[in-house]
Structure 1
Amino acid sequence: MTREDHMEIVKVLNNNVVLATDSDGSQVILTGRGLGFQKSAGQRVDPAKIVEVFTPSTREEYVTLRDFLVNISPEYIGVARMIVDAAQAEWQTTFQQALIVALADHLVFAVKRAETGTVTPHPLKGEVSHLFPNEYQMARRSIAMAREVGRLPLSDEDAVAITLHFVNAIAFATNDLSQTFAMTEVLSQVFEVLESAYGREFPTDDINSARFVTHLRYFFSRAASGQQLAEQPRVQRVGP
């Protein structure tokens, strides 16, 4: 008998999402195609239909998950779970379940962009692919899996956003956030110096600032590890 075999429905949220009790009596949110169809409180959950089990720890987390899951197809959750499983196996780690939610949410909007022809090149593709090569390759594999298994028409441009999801998830999984916080503080001070020197504000949310920040993060990472660039930049001669 598995954990799912002992689950009992507490409330049907829609045809694909139910609130249930776990084997130890704790409440969980389950998602799966047809999981709540013609079901009512007190009935057993069909374990074969369960795509994902979410265990909210607070009332606020329950409300957030509930509102998200009732408005998303369980197929997106399934593809996100497949991607997370592959990434965990690749890096021999365990990610927080929030990564599944973040990836599923990204997949929904990525498919909409692809279907409406509104995909645009990501401005940080070059920087991100060089700064996080392993995560970027995993993101490309994720897109291939989503296309082949989930039949989702994702664009190659989605690799950048998925890469950044992995980067954040790895930081939380390893509890290695101190350098990130320190880097954030230094970046804030850099912009203060620039604004003081040039006498104007530099919006941190535009493309130019994003590129600048990415280059600084790359520099900070190399400085912290004591690594230098393998190749020196070429100086182009101008004139005779």
Structure 2
Amino acid sequence: MKITKVLNNNVVMSKSESDQEIVVMGRGLAFQKKVGDVIDPSKIEKTFVLETSGVANKLAELMKETPEIYLDLSYKILELAKSQLTYKLDDYLYVALTDHLSFAITRHKNGIDLKNPLLWEIRRYYKQEFQVALKALDMVEAVTGVRLAEDEAASIALHFVNSQLSGENMAAAVQVTEMVNNILTIVKYFFKIELDENTINYERFLTHLRFFAIRFIRKEKSDYMYDSFLYEQVKQKYGDAFQCAERIAAYIAKNYDWEISNNEIIYLTLHICRITNRHKLDHSS
């Protein structure tokens, strides 16, 4: 394994046997080394495969002004996230998280702690990501002695959520969260109820809404054939839920200029029926 780029004395870029770019870390790994030199296997402590083109250059640029401690912290947090979250994390998260940690800790040391306006929503709608982010704060404190606020955990969790968007910017993750929150609010106001967040039906609806919002961000269109018979059946059988789904469609059209399909209205209706049916049963008994 040979060095293709030296980032600092302890971090280099190289190529794997399958010709993928990798980050190789180890104390003194690149001391007095140059491009083309062979890496001493005994000094390798960590490797990180980069599957996305262009990430290596961004990482190299970041390393010019970022202490190495944050690179190592990001690596450990990502390893934790990979073991806890069910989806693949985008390579760029390594760069984004390193940059975020460096900036957040520097701000904190200067007495500047920013509030995350989406803290409540992120804690509520992205529970797994938020729990991993809270553990990340413990790791940051253990290494740096700095205890960051829960607002930073929300920001880290949002980076995980954003990773599902495969390279989209952070604004996309914020937009997904806001859209999901507003749709849930429409359902609660329409039925004048509080939704039970501990039910499997709620989790299913939440997952559906997340991917619904991601499809909007990516401008993806449904390829499924429209079933007019099913549409009419759902409309007649689940009248209240159908009207709520139509109200959601009107909100999406007005605020996002996106006309959702009849198929999507069917799915929304069925999900809404499930999450509101339990409430109706509880209050009828």
User: Quick check: TM above 0.5?
Assistant: yes
- Count of residues in correspondence between the two structures: 197
Q: 1:53 aligns to what?
A: 48
Contact 1:19 1:30 (8 Å CA) reproduced = yes
Identity level (%): 27
1:83 to 73, 77, 85: 77
The runs of 5 or more residues in structure 2 that have no matched partner are 167-206, 220-248, 258-266, 281-285
CA–CA distance in 2 between the matches of 1:96 and 1:225?
A: 29
Q: Deviations over 1:42-82 (max 9, x none)?
A: 43323434444343654x44432321234323321221122
Q: 1:236 aligns to what?
A: none
Q: 1:181 aligns to what?
A: 215
1:14 has 2:8 as partner? yes
The runs of 5 or more residues in structure 1 that have no matched partner are 1-6, 194-220, 233-240
CA–CA distance in 1 between the matches of 2:269 and 2:124?
A: 16
Contact 1:171 1:177 (8 Å CA) reproduced = no
Aligned 1:71-150 pairs, distance under 5 A: 71-149=65-143
Deviation for aligned residue 1:27 = 4.9
CA–CA distance in 1 between the matches of 2:31 and 2:90?
A: 29
Deviation for aligned residue 1:161 = 0.6
Contact 2:21 2:56 (8 Å CA) reproduced = no
Q: Which structure carries more helix by proportion?
A: 2
Amino acid at match of 2:101: L
Amino acid at match of 1:74: E
CA–CA distance in 1 between the matches of 2:21 and 2:77?
A: 26
Q: 1:190 aligns to what?
A: 254
Deviation for aligned residue 1:112 = 0.8
Amino acid at match of 1:55: L
Deviation for aligned residue 1:108 = 0.6
Amino acid at match of 1:190: K
CA–CA distance in 2 between the matches of 1:224 and 1:149?
A: 48
TM-score scaled to structure 1, two decimals? 0.64
What SS does structure 2 have at the residue aligned with 1:20? strand
Deviation for aligned residue 1:101 = 1.9
CA–CA distance in 2 between the matches of 1:162 and 1:109?
A: 12
TM-score scaled to structure 2, two decimals? 0.55
Q: Deviations over 1:91-147 (max 9, x none)?
A: 344322222222111111110111111003222212222222232222112211221
Q: 1:38 aligns to what?
A: 32
Deviation for aligned residue 1:192 = 6.8
CA–CA distance in 2 between the matches of 1:52 and 1:151?
A: 26
Amino acid at match of 2:214: T
Deviation for aligned residue 1:86 = 1.6
Deviation for aligned residue 1:31 = 4.3
CA–CA distance in 2 between the matches of 1:178 and 1:192?
A: 13
Amino acid at match of 2:254: V
CA–CA distance in 2 between the matches of 1:87 and 1:21?
A: 24
Deviation for aligned residue 1:150 = 5.3
CA–CA distance in 1 between the matches of 2:78 and 2:102?
A: 16
CA–CA distance in 2 between the matches of 1:81 and 1:113?
A: 21
Aligned 1:140-219 pairs, distance under 5 A: 140-149=134-143, 151-170=145-164, 172=166, 177=211, 179-182=213-216, 189-191=253-255
What SS does structure 2 have at the residue aligned with 1:126? helix
CA–CA distance in 1 between the matches of 2:79 and 2:156?
A: 14
